[in-house]
Amino acid sequence: MTLMRTPTITRAPARTFVAATGAGALLLSLAACGGADEAVPGVSEDTITIGTHQPLTGPAAAGYSSISAATSAYFDYVNANGGVHGRQIEYIVKDDAYNPANTQTVVRELVQQDDVFAVVNGLGTPTHSSVLDFLNQNEVPDLFVSSGSTAWNDPEEYPYTFGYNADYHVEGSALGQYAADEHAGKSVCVLGQDDDYGETFLEGVQIALGEDGVTTYETYETSNQDVTAQIGAMQSAGCEVVMLATVNGFTALAVGTAAQMGFMPTWMAASAGGDYPTLVEFLGEDVAAQVLQGFTSVNYLPFSPDGEWVELFTEINDEYNGSAAFDGNTVFGMGVGYAFVEALEAAGEDPTRESLVEALESGEVVGNGIVPLAYSAENHSGYDAVGITMVDGGVQDFVGSTYRLEGESVTAIEPEQLPLDGNGIPAAE
């Protein structure tokens, strides 16, 4: 089973580009918004220009390339309903092929050539880590990083960076606690990406199970699409529960390889590699139905098939995203869009980069998850709790358990699903 690779490109949807009208005209436009001496990058009288780096091609494309399209669709919906404080949102999407060297190139283009107001939802731990210093040194708001690394939550070192996903400590500890609660006494093993993703997730599992609670830890490289040795090692070790800190393509690869080897443990996965509709695309419906029954993951967003947020996002997807396949990436991408609009509303009628950061640190931006976003001046982490999901009969949904990590303690809590108000466009209070 392999992931398809295609040539690297850099692109943005046609609707996201801002026409170049010359430096003088651009400065006049910005001055109209912020004053002659206070031009705000990316802000004109009638637009807000932001950007992102995404894996539109490369090893992570099949699992994540649809996210930015969903975010763009949500922004188109907001724009069709008047925008934010009378401005239209322009979202420049650039392909980095999940390659840190490419990420550095395209992010520098976004900041130095496209003059974006903020970078929103840059995807990937190794990729975004390569631009973290650059964005903060240039005082560019770096919002809703699409990765559960704990590196994004360092307000003192990186004051302009904010996470979004529940971090991998939270996700790993939640799955570890769920395993302890529901699969007591069974041997637990972990397969992780050979970087901060895998290591941080493992630490989270060990918070719940103890350092000796993991029988074996195997790693994979995204450049090597063969995990036979790792699966064989876990099979030989007698692993009964296997937890995956994998991207979706490698989740499918691991589960499919194990099935071919006659190895059928209980599978649990981080949210980044746990979207059932995406896994079906990799495995096929018949295989997925056989090997993913009971597949367990975590989530913090309102993706329940019969939920009101899914109903709204489906309508937006149909109208503004060409009725593209609807999955967890759709909910994630539109949830990011919702959070950005919330932040932009709270930043004021004449937003600055500083007022955007202040809006997030104020705690006014709560998102649309099963718990509120946890931002404050001391906390830039994003969601701090996750619910447990399970696949049953081809349907993935929450099964009732929600866990929050507080220090070194994993606590079961009641979810606080944020309600859908009005038309799903946040308004300033």
Model confidence pLDDT, tens digit, residues 238-271: 999 999 999 999 999 999 999 999 999 999 999 9
- The CATH classification number of 14-165+306-383 equals 3.40.50.2300
If pLDDT is split at 50, 70 and 90, which confidence band does 38 have? low
Domain 168-299+387-412 has CATH 3.20.20.10: no
Q: Mean pLDDT, to the nearest integer, of 165-173?
A: 96
The residues spanned by each domain of the chain are 14-165+306-383, 168-299+387-412
The pLDDT of residue 428: 55
pLDDT at residue 338 greater than cutoff 90:
yes
Instruction: Give yes or no for residue 24 having a pLDDT over 80.
Output: no
The two domains 14-165+306-383 and 168-299+387-412 share their CATH topology (first three levels equal):
yes
- The answer to whether residue 14 scores a pLDDT higher than 50 is no
| pLDDT surpasses 50 at 376 | yes
Q: What is the pLDDT of residue 131?
A: 98
Query: What confidence score (pLDDT) does residue 222 get?
Result: 86
pLDDT score for 400: 80
- Check: CB of residue 333 under 8 Å from CB of residue 71: yes
Between 406 and 89, the higher pLDDT residue = 89
Query: What's the mean per-residue pLDDT of the chain?
Result: 90
Percent of the chain at pLDDT exceeding 90: 83
**How far, in Å, CA of 303 to CA of 343, rounded?**
22
